[in-house]
Structure 1
Amino acid sequence: MSSRPSLPPPPPPVEIRTWPDREAMLADRALILGALVRMHIGPGRLGVLVMWAGLAAFGWLLVGSGLVMVEQAADFFSGIAGFVSLLLGAGALIPAVILVALHLARDREIRALLAQWGELGHDPERDRELRLPGVSLVWLLLSFVLAAGGLALCVIGPASARPGDDTYGMVALIMGLGMVAWLTGLIGAAKAWAHRRWVLRVLMAPAPLDAPAHR
């Protein structure tokens, strides 16, 4: 059984809302938005993304090493070792890619719920706790470092390769690791930007946009 918390439902339609008053609605809104924000850019989510990126990097390291061994194989056993490394790398890389894809799909659902619950009304006091500028900055800085380092590997790898000394497998290994870091950085930066945009468009939108609590 997965330990991942389930997502809350969207807010009920106006005609079936049962909140006794606006304060009750705002209290529920703040509770659910707090949980959604933690699911989106909480420290735990950053750790999970880095862990999956590490798994993908480890998988590609095995795949790249296998390519190098197959390319430089001097005998049958070296070729077999390279093939085994390729299989092991694929066994780590493919699940990591699937998990990241699921992570991105869940993020889309979370962002939709954040918009729906946020538009119920305005609560400046409680909303201030949801902005998390420090957490967003950590996401952004770490993402920038990963993306910049990954892009550097993608450029430096093939540019510094010496014909006759560096194999195609080695170049592919370096570029693959750089691509993993670059994509991870892009995902992290996109999450930080999405959170900031939500804060500006929903939490800091003009008060007249408030929706009624119930009918």
Structure 2
Amino acid sequence: MARRTPLPPPPPPAEIRAWPDRSALLADRAYAMGELTKRQLGAGRLTFFLLVMALVQLGWGFVGAALIGIFDDGLFDPLTAIFAAFMAAIGGAVMVPSVWLVVRGVRNDIACRERLAQWTGLDHDPAHDAKVREPVRSVVWGLLSFALCALGLWVSFAVPNMFVGPTRGGYGTVAYFLGAALILWVHGLIGLTKAYHHYRLAIRLGK
């Protein structure tokens, strides 16, 4: 598999900067800021973000099936144990790389924000900065992330009441829905953080 294109590097230290003129500096600044913003908030990043969240939910679904088999069936026998272990193994195999992708994405976002701040402070280019400040990106991320947090809140409180009871689910069902809600909350907060930092960047560029 081809290696992912690395992030644009930060600007060189002041003592070794060698741009021939300001236009060359602004051209490099425009490319770096545009690429870093796309890596954080572009359509490709949003698609990847949602796909990874779906994979984490899928893995947790297998683990949830194991929990329900153990705690909600009322009879724990060797066959149930084998089924639970099998489902948990599949869930772990899906969740571990998916969670790693989430962590890598967060680290990538932090690196992008740091480099954006460095390139932003290097100079001022109103014509290009207006493109980077485009509010649509942060609005899309903000609304979607808010929806994920709201859905997580609903799953935390309303859904267990619908599926848990004397003749329905038990502790395993509760654990599954709470885990699913936590996944929604974590991804919603990640997205809200990205939208907030882009909003701060837009304010800084508008000064």
Shorter-chain TM-score category? over 0.9
> Following superposition, which runs of at least 4 residues in structure 1 exceed 6 angstroms of deviation?
none
For 2:151, the equivalent position in structure 1 comes to 149
Give the TM-score of the pair, scaled to structure 2.
Answer: 0.92
Where does 1:14-29 land on structure 2 (aligned, <5 Å)? 14-29=14-29
For 1:185, the equivalent position in structure 2 comes to 188
How far does the alpha carbon of each residue in 1:95-149 deviate from its partner, in whole angstroms, 9 at most, with x for none? 1111111111111111110000111111100111111211211111111111100
CA distance in 2 between counterparts of 1:121 and 1:113 reads 14
Deviation for aligned residue 1:53: 0.6
CA distance in 2 between counterparts of 1:177 and 1:2 reads 33
Give the TM-score of the pair, scaled to structure 1.
Answer: 0.89
Q: Which moved more, 1:152-161 or 1:111-120?
A: 152-161
For 1:13, the equivalent position in structure 2 comes to 13
CA distance in 1 between counterparts of 2:186 and 2:153 reads 9
Q: Which runs of 5+ in 1 are unaligned?
A: 206-215
Q: Give the direction of change, closer, same or farther, for the CA distance of 1:2–1:179 in structure 2 (3 Å limit).
A: farther
Where does 1:157-168 land on structure 2 (aligned, <5 Å)? 157-160=159-162, 161-163=164-166, 165-168=168-171
Where does 1:111-150 land on structure 2 (aligned, <5 Å)? 111-150=113-152
CA distance in 1 between counterparts of 2:76 and 2:9 reads 60
Percent identity reads: 41
Residue 59 of structure 1 aligns to a residue in which SS? helix
Q: Give the direction of change, closer, same or farther, for the CA distance of 1:74–1:9 in structure 2 (3 Å limit).
A: closer
Residue 169 of structure 1 is aligned with which of 154, 168, 172?
Answer: 172
For 1:51, the equivalent position in structure 2 comes to 51
Q: Which runs of 5+ in 2 are unaligned?
A: none
How far does the alpha carbon of each residue in 1:137-187 deviate from its partner, in whole angstroms, 9 at most, with x for none? 111111111110011111224455324532100111111111111111111
CA distance in 2 between counterparts of 1:157 and 1:7 reads 41
Residue pair 1:157, 1:171 contacting (<8 A) in 2 also: no
